[in-house]
Copies of this chain bind each other. A is one copy, B any other.
């Protein structure tokens, strides 16, 4: 099970909580876990609150986590070393509990695809395990 997201900026957060919930509903699993995974080396996943100001703060904080202005060796092949490094450190995989057929997220927890080398078309895989 997977869905696609079209991103529109170099670095951008996309809330995919609704799409993940739809995949869990389709699976029929009531008790278990959902693995959310991006099969990309220049994107990542995070969980946090969907508040307009905070999205701007998260975009800025993620942009500054790894220095952008270094002379990276990978940039001689493909000018996106920073995107790879940020993806490696933040991570491309999230695991979330499912209880009573619902994502057991907190009230202020949404799932975001983090684009780090956009704009691109990205795939998000949702694997549901349980019964």
Known A-B contacts A57-B85, A61-B85, A108-B40; A91 and B35 likewise in contact (beta carbons under 8 Å): no
Interface size on A, residues (CB 8 A): 59
Interface SS majority for chain A: mixed
Is A56 interfacial (CB-CB < 8 Å)?
yes
Query: Which of A3-11, A14-22, A71-79 is the contact stretch?
Result: A71-79
Is A84 interfacial (CB-CB < 8 Å)?
yes
Chain B hits for A109, CB < 8 A: 39-41, 92
Known A-B contacts A35-B33, A47-B88, A95-B95; A53 and B77 likewise in contact (beta carbons under 8 Å): yes
Contact of A105 among B39, B49, B84 (CB under 8 A): B39
Chain B hits for A106, CB < 8 A: 38-41
Task: Give chain A's interface residues, CB within 8 Å of chain B.
Answer: 32-33, 35, 37-42, 46-49, 51-54, 56-58, 60-62, 64-67, 70, 72-77, 81, 84-85, 87-99, 104-106, 108-109, 125, 127, 129-130
